[in-house]
A and B are shown apart, each in its own frame.
Chain A
Amino acid sequence: MLDIQKIRAEFPILSQKVNGKPLVYFDNGATSQKPQIVIDAEVKYYQEINANIHRGVHTLSQLATDAYEISRGKVQQHINAKFAHEVLFTSGTTHGINLVTNGFASILKPGDEVIVSSLEHHSNIVPWQMLCEKTGATLKVIPMNEDGELIMEAFDALLSEKTKVVTVNHISNALGIINPIKYIIDKAHAVGAAVLIDGAQAVPHLKPNVQELDCDFYAFSGHKMCGPTGTGILYGKEAWLNKLPPYQGGGEMIKEVTFEKTTYADLPHKFEAGTPNIAGGIVLGTAIDYLNSVGFENIQQYENELLEYATKRLLEIEGLKIYGTGKNKASVVSFNIDGIHPYDIGSIIDKLGIAVRTGHHCAQPIMNFFCIPGTIRASFSFYNTKEEIDTMVEAVKKAKTMLS
């Protein structure tokens, strides 16, 4: 059992007032709040060991390098990667995905096929579209059903020897649906395709095991899992990372440079040109330690309670419809009220101190599927409470009265 009040006390922002009301932060899908231990680690880095890494022989540079590489090791352990050099630091999920699509530009040929899903965030659609435009490959889309679940029979039918890459999110950001990624990975591998999993929405809720999943790439962001903004990880299987060309040229990623020829550094440095977000990378390790100390089993169990409670309470409101009614879900509720624009509800409940996301959640194809301009999305974290859900439900009721 989690001691929620103790946990809440570790997040200074949660005791704030917004518009004169106690903050109810339900926009965790966009970014999570940070515990004091993470904030302190960021300060401590700059106060005590700030130096550029992997270069200097001086003590501070070595301390900073060690801290950065220890953090990489923590991530490796956390996601159960085989090697630390399969863990690349990035600026976030989007960066990780673009690193991969950029690499595939020299691999794909006209007639090849890339499969994405209809549940993707724009950042796992657009880079693949750009890749297809560049290479002449074709983009195929796994459709979904009315519950927001991907249709696996349709996916099976899309697969062929033309399929070179399959990419799908672990958990949908707009609806919270958990996708059957193990099935997708195995099926894709059976036709020889590589698989990238967008784990941005999964890592706050669960601990991905990349070896067990057997995915080729797994991209996620640090800021959604209590870490700093501008941090992220791209896991890639060693063989794939060796095969892909570097993403950016610069310092750090080279072995030897002459004007005739440059040889690239070994993994992971080949993909880490320039001075990275050193503080962020180190502190991401702190965030992962923190989450593990709370415990993912505890987190999941508690967040499921919140999800069930919120679903039940929201459905008490007449005319309220939840999108993403599939069984396998993370703690996200996406909803609308009949005849009312989500923006109107969002604006009013913001005045009541409640932070939710309204709009298309960068997933316009999903909104088009349901023929709606957007939804109101409440996404819960382990530091949220049932009382906060009650406050939101009352606020939504009030907004509904004002707007009807």
Chain B
Amino acid sequence: MTIKEIQNEIIDEFSMFDDWMQRYEYIIELGKSLPLINEEYKTDENLIKGCQSKVWLHGEQKDDKIVFTADSDAILTKGIIAILIRAFSNQNAEDIINADTEFIDEIGLKEHLSATRANGLVSMIKNIKMYALAFNAKNNN
């Protein structure tokens, strides 16, 4: 599936919820089900320092795709990363670089993009794209 197709699938899933509480409960579930990052990758280097919660993100190349794993000490953050990983992991670098992130808005998580929480979600997306840029540069050399 393309990134866009996965994002649409996520939007469809979230459209079934009537209110924020159901959305948050789903995100919490996703957070609990997120496969954990390999302990060896929970390094300071992989730490996205947010104001509120810690996020570790690791990306590695498998064939022509990038595979992301991540973890956080806050469960809502973990759920949000699970969503991002579902959308961006196992995709090729070019597609990740070109993907938009409007689906975040559409699934009702816009407030997590605001400046005070920005360090979380915005930095996660930025870091995912940075990985893609780095792999792309490496492959084109």
Asked whether, in the complex, the Cβ of B73 is within 8 Å of the Cβ of A341, the reply is yes
B75 at the interface (CB under 8 A from A): yes
Verify if A343 is at the interface (C-beta below 8 Å from B).
Answer: yes
- Which positions 121-178 of chain A face chain B at CB distance < 8 Å? none
Chain B proximity mask over A9-20: 1 for CB below 8 Å, otherwise 0: 000000000010
Looking at the assembled complex, report how far the CB atom of B56 sits from the nearest CB atom of chain A, in whole angstroms.
Answer: 14
Contact between A343 and B21, CB atoms less than 8 A apart: no
Indicate if A373 sits at the interface (CB-CB under 8 A): yes
The answer to whether A359 has its CB under 8 Å from any CB of chain B is yes
Check A343/B20 contact, CB under 8 A, given A373-B53, A402-B25: no
Closest chain-B Cβ to A23's Cβ sits at a distance in Å of: 16
Which chain B residues (65-97) contact chain A, with CB distance < 8 Å?
73-77
Contact of B54 among A19, A346, A347, A373 (CB under 8 A): A373
Q: Tell me how many residues of A have a C-beta within 8 Å of chain B.
A: 16
Q: Using A341-B75, A344-B76, A347-B76 as known contacts, say yes or no to A402 and B28 having CB atoms under 8 A apart.
A: yes
Q: A182 within 8 Å of B by Cβ?
A: no
CB of A44 within 8 A of chain B? no
Contact B24 A373 (CB under 8 A): no
| Segment 1-44 of A: residues with Cβ below 8 Å from B | 19
User: How distant is A345 from chain B, measured CB to nearest CB, in Å?
Assistant: 10
A227 interface residue (CB < 8 Å to B)? no
* B33 contacts chain A at the CB level, 8 A cutoff: no
Contacts of B24 in A (CB 8 A): 347-348, 351, 402
**With an 8 A cutoff between CB atoms, is A358 at the interface?**
yes
How near does chain B come to A199, taking the closest CB pair, in angstroms? Answer: 25
Please name all residues of chain B whose beta carbon is closer than 8 Å to the beta carbon of A280 when the two chains form the complex. Answer: none
Across the interface, name the chain B residue whose C-beta is closest to A350. Answer: B111
Within 8 A of B (CB), among A204-234: none
Contact surface of B with A, Cβ cutoff 8 Å: 20-21, 24-25, 28, 51-54, 73-77
* Given A346-B52, A402-B24, 18 additional A-B pairs, CB 8 A: A19-B20, A341-B53, A341-B73, A342-B52, A343-B52, A343-B74, A343-B76, A344-B75, A344-B76, A348-B24, A351-B24, A358-B52, A359-B52, A373-B54, A373-B73, A374-B52, A402-B28, A403-B75
